[in-house]
Amino acid sequence: MKLITAIIKPFKIDDVRDALAGIGIQGMTVTEVKGFGRQKGHTELYRGAEYNVDFMPKIKIEVAVAEGLLDQTIEAISESANNGKVGDGKIFVVELDQVIRIRTGETGEDAI
């Protein structure tokens, strides 16, 4: 089992959710976060005053998947979140040792 964490632009969340639903992903956790990478923020003009926006708004998606769905899930996120511009995001994959569904006590892939 793997835990996929993707950091994407906020306006891409609907596209990513639809792409994941299309391959059978039944659940995900979504968090609004702020951060920066190579884009390093930007300058905005508000009521005639310039100010720096150092941390860009992003969406963090976390999805637990069985090993067999890993490549499909990465591909679905990559294709649906890609805008072709700096700041499209990143995908991180880590090993999941154990998953437990609290309600039923199911463990492993049955709990996903």
pTM for the model: 0.84
**What tokens appear for 89 in the block?**
């995001």
Domains in the chain, number: 1
For 68-92, how does the pLDDT look when each residue is reduced to its tens digit (9 = 90+)?
999 999 999 999 999 888 888 999 9
d(CA 10, CA 7): 9
**CB burial of residue 25 (10 Å; 0-12, 13-18, 19+):** buried
Instruction: Mention every residue, 6+ apart, whose C-beta is less than 8 A from residue 35.
Output: 7, 55, 56, 58
Q: Cite the DSSP H helix spans in the chain.
A: 13-22, 70-81
What's the pLDDT at 54? 75
* Structural domain for 79, as ranges: 2-111
Question: Residue 93 sits in a domain of what CATH number?
Answer: 3.30.70.120
For 23-36, how does the pLDDT look when each residue is reduced to its tens digit (9 = 90+)?
999 899 999 998 87
